[in-house]
A and B are shown apart, each in its own frame.
Chain A
Amino acid sequence: MASTTTSQKPITTSDSKPEDPQQKPTAALEEDDEFEDFPVDDWEAEETEAAAGGTGTNTQHLWEESWDDDDTSDDFSNQLKEELKKVEAARKR
């Protein structure tokens, strides 16, 4: 038993190695993770994001409700309906 557990160890370490190159780009992202200095010190109200958004400080149109009523024909909704029918059928039996 002891020999099998030790022999498994090298496998897990070699498994983790191929991931390393993938992690590098995220590490590079971290470098400039800091809020940047603005190239100018001050700007007019017209140049703010609030003005550019077109609706003053109202950013409502950029956010949406977190539920989805429109799309009830996608795979997941169909699956759900099937599943619920099965439950219904099981209850009636």
Chain B
Amino acid sequence: MEFGNHLYREFEEAWEANNGYRLAATINPDLSAAQLGKIHQSIDPDSGNWKASQEDNVKGSIKRGLQSTSIRTRGFDNDEIKGWTDVYFAYWTVTGTLARARAQGPSSQVSLQLLWTEVFEQWKKFVNALVQGYNNYGFEAWTIPCLYVAGKYLRLFAMQADDERSKNPSENDSANAFQDDFDPETDKHQKLEDCARVLNRVFSVCLNDRAPLEESRKWGIYFIINLLFKTYFKLNSPSLSKNVLRILTAGRGDMPDFYSFPRSQQVTFKYHEGVLNFLEENYAEAEKHLTEAWGLCHKDAIRNKELILTYLVPCRLITTHTLPTEKLLEPYPRLQRLFLPLCRCIKKGELHAFDLALQEGEDEFVKRRIYLTLERGRDIALRNLLRKVFIAGGFMPAAEGEKPVRRTRIPVAEFAAAISLGSQERLDNDEVECLLANMIYKGLMKGYISREQGKVVLSKSGAFPGTGV
């Protein structure tokens, strides 16, 4: 919105209604180059006192505008005016640069000037002005949607700045490359790392509010946490999110109930909490959070549902040994390609085909950080194969009137033959016994190996627990 009466009336009305989203709309940077240009031109930095600096002139103009509002008499005090003047001045500054950056086109293009870097640095000042407002100038809690806009675009601008820099290597960078402590990975995400630090400050602003809950900035906490999660994941250090979770757990008593937050925030939080646990191999916890994210997710958010399933499917393979039905994966061709070949092999107990399918998808699995988890599905494939051997063994002749009992003494050689079936690779007897012992140890098969007889003696009641035989 251009600076002028219209903006200050809007500010006044948002303030009176305590409508944070309406207020946040006045500092929205998601506008076209032309719109941004207009906003920037709506204050002439050279009008006013000719002796004063441009900055003072612009601030003076904004301050007069805010002072002209009728809310002056209703508690909108000088401190707040000072704070909001700084915020709007910072916003005005960004609009000029952002207009040029947007007019220049996508950040991928080579440019002499690193405009997106400048946009990021200026937007960072804007975010800091807001943080100052809460810390020093008594900004009220209902205005926190402004922090949402601030944080959301800080991250986006940081990524664009990093992207722009990677495509415009400067002489400066090549000089850096010769330094001993130069780390190209860190440099790649220089601005995003900076962004994480600023977001942490915003997080504190929300967390350390001692006001009663109904007018607390704590209502902003999950929005900001989600931004932090996304940032840490992008920085390839998801484990940093653990600190956030620890702080959150410690302060939970004074926090609004999680389920009173908007569902979009609940789902995003649960997804990341689930993936974090997944990466730490806490599969039971991961399943709990991911299942919750799945249930709460908006039914039309296909891409997000797809992401949840990307982790929930391998997770459930470990926790409950279950597989997704084709119906579940039907709307997600990408997941079908990812999981169905493996699922088929697991179900049929085709061990060798499983190994091939795992190899086939390795790059993709590694990229999604699910390779190691899926690899553990081999145990289930093996269990199913051994189970087939057991079932193929048929029944012992039963005594009159008694229920037939399956043959429970199975020669190791039969298992060995089954295991080698796909690969045509003969395994040593020792190797086969080792595999079988592992199955027994993991509780996937019940029984013992009788070495003298070269047989496995399986339990008469539930040789393969949980599978009905």
Question: Which A residues are within 8 Å of any B CB, using their own CB?
Answer: 23, 26, 29-30, 32-38, 40-43, 47-52, 57, 59, 61-69, 71-72, 74, 76-77, 79-81, 83-84, 86-88, 90-91
Contact = CB atoms under 8 A, between A and B. Distances in A.
B347 A68 contact: yes
B304 A67 contact: no
20 contacts: A30-B367, A34-B234, A35-B268, A35-B272, A38-B264, A38-B301, A42-B263, A47-B299, A50-B295, A57-B291, A59-B295, A64-B324, A65-B467, A66-B317, A79-B421, A87-B414, A87-B417, A88-B414, A91-B411, A91-B413
Contact of B320 (A41, A63, A84): A63
Contacts, number: 141
A84 B324 CA distance: 31
Enumerate the 7 nearest inter-chain pairs by beta-carbon distance, A residue then B residue, closest first: A50-B295, A52-B299, A42-B262, A62-B328, A38-B264, A63-B322, A68-B347
A34 to B, nearest CB: 6
A67 B387 contact: yes
B38 interface: no
Interface string B286-328: 0000010011111111011101000000001100111111011
A47 B298 contact: yes
B392 A81 contact: yes
A49 B298 contact: yes
Interface residues of B, dominant DSSP:
helix
Contacts of B299: 47-49, 51-52
Given A49-B296, A66-B322, 5 more contacts: A33-B307, A47-B300, A48-B297, A63-B322, A69-B391
A86 B295 contact: no
B464 to A, nearest CB: 8
Interface of B: 152, 230, 233-234, 262-265, 267-268, 271-272, 291, 294-301, 303-305, 307, 316-317, 320-325, 327-328, 334, 346-350, 363-364, 367-368, 380, 383-384, 387-389, 391-393, 411, 413-414, 417-418, 421, 467-468
Contact of B230 (A26, A35, A71, A76): A35
Contacts of B263: 42-43, 48
Contacts of B262: 41-42
B388 A34 contact: no
B364 A66 contact: no
B384 A68 contact: yes
B295 A35 contact: no
Contacts of B364: 26
A26 to B, nearest CB: 6
A48 B322 contact: no
A76 to B, nearest CB: 6
Contact of B348 (A34, A41, A47, A68): A68
